[in-house]
Structure 1
């Protein structure tokens, strides 16, 4: 299936979870927020959130500085 991650198309296997996407993208354990179709998904729900064809995923990484 095809989804968009930060406006870039990406192909995943069907029934892939948000946790599987995070592992594929090698996201850090902390400092990352993810929204699917404009809805923030808490990290505790990543493994049970199944992505669908054409989902829009936004990954936001925290940055230090001022």
Structure 2
């Protein structure tokens, strides 16, 4: 199935979770990461269980330090 991640199209296995997606796209660390699916934030404690759906639009944001 296909999902959109930060405006890029990815093919993932049906039933993939947020955690599986982050591993698939090689996000090295989840520290400081936020994930929204279809404009709704998915809490980190639900990433292991939240199954992706076909054509989901996923936004991954990484916090950065700065001033």
1:8 is matched with 8
RMSD over equivalenced CA pairs, Å: 0.8
Query: What TM-score comes out, normalization by structure 1 length?
Result: 0.94
Q: Larger % of helix: which? A: 1
Query: What TM-score comes out, normalization by structure 2 length?
Result: 0.92
Superposed CA deviations along residues 17-63 of structure 1, whole A, max 9, x for unmatched, are 11100111232131000000100001100011000100000000001
Q: Which runs of 5+ in 1 are unaligned?
A: none
Structure 1 segments of 4 or more deviating over 6 A? Answer: none
Alignment size in residue pairs:
66
- Superposed, 1:1-66 pairs within 5 Å as 1-27=1-27, 28-66=29-67
